[in-house]
Structure 1
Amino acid sequence: MLDIQWIRQNPDTFDIALKKRNLEPQSECILSLDTQYRSLIKQIEKIRAQRNSKSEQIGQAIAKGNLLLADTIKAEVSTIKEQLPLLEEKENEIKSSLNQILSCIPNIPLEDVPIGTNEKENILIRSVGNKPNAVHLSKEHFEIGEELGLMDFDRSAKLSGARFSILASDLALLERALGQFMLDLHTSEHGYTEVSAPLLVRDEAMYGTGQLPKFANDMFCTTDGRWLIPTSEVSLTNIFSNEIIDFNLLPLRLVALAPSFRSEAGSAGRDTRGMLRQHQFWKCELVSITKEEESHIEHERMLSCAEKVLKKLDLHYRIVSLCSGDLGFSACKTYDLEVWLPGQNLYREISSCSNCGSFQSRRMNSRYRDSFNKSLKFTHTLNGSGVAVGRCLIAILENYLNKDGSVTIPTILRPYMHNLEVIKKNILWSNR
């Protein structure tokens, strides 16, 4: 959530920032409600003070034996008491309207974020490695997986419907190996602390990281009102909601390997085949919580940590800086890592690393005490995939495919796969 005081002081800058995100100006509406709200608060405080003062006068009048005066003042207090509930109700209505608007306004892009309307205007930062040019690398991952006999979409549809998959034997082992490799890398080399956190969270947690109220339709809600996490960012970041963190503990660097759940309500017709866009998928998530002056440096560090996964797997990828119109709701700056998929002849996002500044911390009230002047400040939060396990598996299938249909296992993963070097065709179940 944005700081209302900043909006008061910078209404034009605020509207310009919204325009960069393809949104209409909001300052006039917000400041009108804010003015009404603050005026009501003053009015209510004044009336409460009058009530308290007159209540004292009643006691003084009774003490002096002036019962007539006491009755007169009591009548005045009674009138005041009738006014207060009406004003307080109006105050709550305006406060609710103001908070509803503010809770649906996205973060403000940083100055160095490129201005643009959509993903076509994202800026290429750099490419790493070279595209493989072998002629046989033209199959998509689902063709490879099904021909190996180790990837099944028909049976998963029987169980759960569309956008699910079943992996078996060596492909299931590859998925597990990838997750374990990522965890080991980030904990042993990058200094992240592994966390196992809940997959079901309350409304407050989803609100804290910005999924609610705007994106409720993109997620799964249980019958008791809890939500399946769309990313471990939700669980990891909200661990420190409503807390004042010890200054000396910052930056906090957390990592979790966990399934994520998304309804993909806005993705009808997109990536309907295969594992690219599923309702359930594994992801290795990185979260950093920092002091405000360190979030920029931490963002670059997080990007390099995610990159290291792809470098060790020897996968060709590129880095793009998202333009203002393509930024996620809570982000003020985002880098996407896009891996090359020869079967699609496209780059596809495999990691998104975002600096959210104080946007999430204001929503979840996560603060630290400044070491210099002891004032309380909102933490800065960052998150990124390190990386998406399923999409990494896809990249390995398409980039490490051999002419005979087998798939070579990257050297770095072999210790996690009982030193297996090649995944070969292995029809486990008869045709249906």
Structure 2
Amino acid sequence: MHDIRSIRENPAAFDAALARRGLAPLSAEILAIDEKSRAIKTQLQQGQARRNEASKLIGQAMAARDMTTADALKAEVATLKDQMPALEAEDRDTGDALTALLAAIPNLPADDVPQGADEADNVECTRWGTPRTFDFTPQDHADFGPALGLDFEGGARLSGARFTALRGQMARLHRALAQYMLDTQTGTNGYEETIVPLLVKDDALFGTGQLPKFAEDLFKTTDGRWLIPTAEVSLTNLVANQIVPTDSLPLRLTALTPCFRSEAGSAGRDTRGFIRQHQFEKVELVAICAPEDSTAEHERMCAAAEGILQALALPYRKVLLCTGDMGFGARKTYDLEVWLPSQDTYREISSVSNCGDFQARRMNARYKPEGSKQTMFLHTLNGSGLAVGRTLVAVLENYQQADGSVIVPDVLVPYMGGVTTLQPR
């Protein structure tokens, strides 16, 4: 959500930021509705004030036995009373229209976000690790994974395309990855482990920006709740409609949850394998902080995600997304892309975003700065630390052997009960 006062004060800057997102100017339309809304509110306030004043004058006129004046005032009050419901309805409609318009506009990019149309214009920041040189042709995980316990056929029989069952050693490796990530983010990086609801109401998804624009990408239950597409929704909304004590900031939260996405916009891409699923697990990171701390918090969160990849010795690169490739709610985003030998390229495994006060405005999450009488909106950040399924794919492909076995990364061996190699069945 955007600050209407900021748009009033500098509409040209607002339109310029929208242009960086590839959007047409909207300030004139917004301010026209805003002006109408304020005029109606003024009319309502004036009408209410006059009605209260006239009501008092009626009593005075009656006391003075001035019935002519009293009757005229009664007629005026009746007219005002009749007009008020229509004005109140118009006020609601205009306010709803303004809210709907502002809610549909994406976050404005930070000044240091590169201009661009799509992922081709993203800027590589760093690379870590050197892709392995194989003495055989590396295979796609979708080809050798079934012998290790990736049951694509079983998942599809149960639920359809883009569902997978994991069995035996593959299920244990998935659990080991998730547990290692969660232990690292809590024990090393100071995020508070949280168990959150997987079903949420409309307000929660509106708060983090998935609704109303991206409803088709979500799964909805018959009782009107939604399955979360990421734990970001539940974690961030823990501060919705709250004034968070300053001494508790920054809040750093993490959760390991299933995530559910219909992936309506992804038809035809990654239809094979375990990369793009309707149901997957992810260790999510969320930070909630004062505005002056969000830039440093963004870098810290990205480093927390990178640390997992480094510990697993998986080559990756860090990319700063351009204006045309950022998500709806982000003002600045880093993507971490892990090396996949079968594709001979880097693929996204984590997206770490600073949302500024965009989500906080939508969910009315505030704090009161030290020494201030006024509350301010918080800044929110989120990122994957990491997506468990995609990390599983990266481990399988980077650690695969010519005989179809897979070496278990050293840091995972304790979580695997000492197992050092996955053997094909």
Q: Separation in 1 of the partners of 2:10 and 2:108? A: 12
Provide the aligned C-alpha RMSD in A. Answer: 0.9
5+ unaligned residues in a row in structure 2: which ranges?
none
Q: Separation in 1 of the partners of 2:338 and 2:407? A: 18
CA deviation after TM superposition for structure 1 residue 155, in Å: 1.6
2:414 maps to a residue whose letter is: P
| Corresponding residue number in structure 1 for 2:80 | 80
Q: Separation in 2 of the partners of 1:76 and 1:372? A: 48
Q: Is the contact between residue 287 and residue 297 of structure 2 (CA under 8 Å) also seen in structure 1?
A: yes
CA deviation after TM superposition for structure 1 residue 372, in Å: 3.3
Q: How does 1:33-44 map to 2 (within 5 A)?
A: 33-44=33-44
Q: How does 1:127-138 map to 2 (within 5 A)?
A: 127-138=127-138
Bigger mean CA deviation after superposition, 13-22 or 64-73: 64-73
Q: How does 1:55-204 map to 2 (within 5 A)?
A: 55-148=55-148, 150-204=149-203
Number of equivalent positions = 425
Q: Separation in 2 of the partners of 1:99 and 1:312? A: 45
| Corresponding residue number in structure 2 for 1:349 | 348
Q: What is the TM-score with the length of structure 1 in the denominator?
A: 0.97
Bigger mean CA deviation after superposition, 74-83 or 316-325: 74-83
CA-to-partner distance for each residue in 1:180-206, whole Å, 9 max, x for gaps? 000110111111110001000010000
Q: Separation in 2 of the partners of 1:151 and 1:373? A: 56
CA-to-partner distance for each residue in 1:236-282, whole Å, 9 max, x for gaps? 00001111111011001001001000000111111111111110000
Q: How does 1:243-258 map to 2 (within 5 A)?
A: 243-258=242-257
5+ unaligned residues in a row in structure 1: which ranges?
427-432
Matched, 1:284 2:270: no
Q: Is the contact between residue 20 and residue 117 of structure 1 (CA under 8 Å) also seen in structure 2?
A: no
Name the SS for the 1:326 alignment partner: coil
CA deviation after TM superposition for structure 1 residue 137, in Å: 4.8
Q: Separation in 2 of the partners of 1:185 and 1:154? A: 33
| Corresponding residue number in structure 2 for 1:294 | 293
Q: Separation in 1 of the partners of 2:18 and 2:186? A: 38
Bigger mean CA deviation after superposition, 138-147 or 4-13: 138-147
CA deviation after TM superposition for structure 1 residue 67, in Å: 2.7
| Corresponding residue number in structure 2 for 1:411 | 410
| Corresponding residue number in structure 1 for 2:31 | 31
Name the SS for the 2:32 alignment partner: helix
Name the SS for the 1:29 alignment partner: helix
CA deviation after TM superposition for structure 1 residue 147, in Å: 3.2
2:378 maps to a residue whose letter is: T
Q: Separation in 2 of the partners of 1:35 and 1:314? A: 57
Bigger mean CA deviation after superposition, 63-72 or 206-215: 63-72
1:94 maps to a residue whose letter is: T
Q: Separation in 1 of the partners of 2:343 and 2:146? A: 16
CA deviation after TM superposition for structure 1 residue 294, in Å: 0.3
| Corresponding residue number in structure 2 for 1:430 | none
Q: Separation in 2 of the partners of 1:282 and 1:196? A: 13
| Corresponding residue number in structure 2 for 1:429 | none
Bigger mean CA deviation after superposition, 413-422 or 62-71: 62-71
CA-to-partner distance for each residue in 1:132-182, whole Å, 9 max, x for gaps? 12043521111121133x111122111101110011000000000000000
CA-to-partner distance for each residue in 1:93-147, whole Å, 9 max, x for gaps? 1111111010010111000000111110000001001011204352111112113
| Corresponding residue number in structure 1 for 2:386 | 387
CA deviation after TM superposition for structure 1 residue 323, in Å: 0.3
1:382 maps to a residue whose letter is: L
Q: Separation in 2 of the partners of 1:396 and 1:7? A: 48
2:88 maps to a residue whose letter is: E
